[in-house]
Amino acid sequence: MTNELKDLLASLPDEMRQEVLSRIKTTRIIELEKKLQPRQKMFAQEFLVDLNRTQAYIRAGYSETGAKVGAHGLYHKPGMNEYIQWLFKQREAAVNVSATKVVRELCKIAFGNITDVLEEDEDGNISIKHLKNIKVPEIVREMELSSGKPTRIKLNDKIKALELLGKHTRAFTDTIDITTNGKEVGHTIVNNIKIAHRADKVRVKNNESKK
């Protein structure tokens, strides 16, 4: 964005400035989308499914061989992350679901506990609460009733909710893609060890020849 355009935008009313910025953004995305190959666009769309770069790479039709490294490179391709973020916003607008809403619902499940669905009477007997008395009903997956009373309850997967929450908030990632000049670090380390080992052998021979 040029300084002249920045100055022009700064002089506009807030509502008009946001409209102009939105149009500029849309134009940029359209141009970016034209440059992406079909499988690259498919990768971006598949990434939205589970936020797993490697699996999205494979589902987009790329080879499983070297998928981790290939997915890392494609994800960091100039413009790819911007395109993915645009797809996220398009999906949110289409279904009226924001990232904030998703995280809020995941938090209810992730931080719910078994004690939230149980109650104790005066005699110390433990029983399952009626669904209407559970403050966070989202944590309940299934509930069986007998004569109108809860007899069995199954909660939503707390660990899975924590994993998804961690991904959406970027608290952690499933894998860490690390490369060195296009080579996997593991291969680089092995090669360095081999080189060091050969150097030691040469050093020993030189020392022996000096004796």
Q: For the chain (length 211 residues), average pLDDT per consecutive 10?
A: 59 67 70 87 88 92 93 92 85 67 84 87 87 86 86 88 76 48 45 51 53 54
Q: Please report how the helices 80-95 and 38-50 are oriented relative to each other, as an axis angle in degrees rounded to 10.
A: 60
- Is 146 among the domain residues? yes
Count of the separate structural domains present in the chain = 2
Residues 150 and 187 occupy one common structural domain: no
Residue 165, pLDDT score: 79
pTM value surpassing 0.75? no
Instruction: Please choose, from the candidates 99, 105, 108, 88, the residue with its C-alpha nearest in 3D space to the C-alpha of residue 169.
Output: 99
- Is 191 among the domain residues? yes
- Is 76 among the domain residues? no
The secondary structure element, H or E, covering residue 145 is strand 140-146
Residues 208 and 183 occupy one common structural domain: yes
- Is 62 among the domain residues? no
- Is 27 among the domain residues? no
- Is 112 among the domain residues? yes
Identify the domain containing residue 111 by its residue range: 106-162
Q: Please report how the helices 67-75 and 38-50 are oriented relative to each other, as an axis angle in degrees rounded to 10.
A: 100
- Is 88 among the domain residues? no
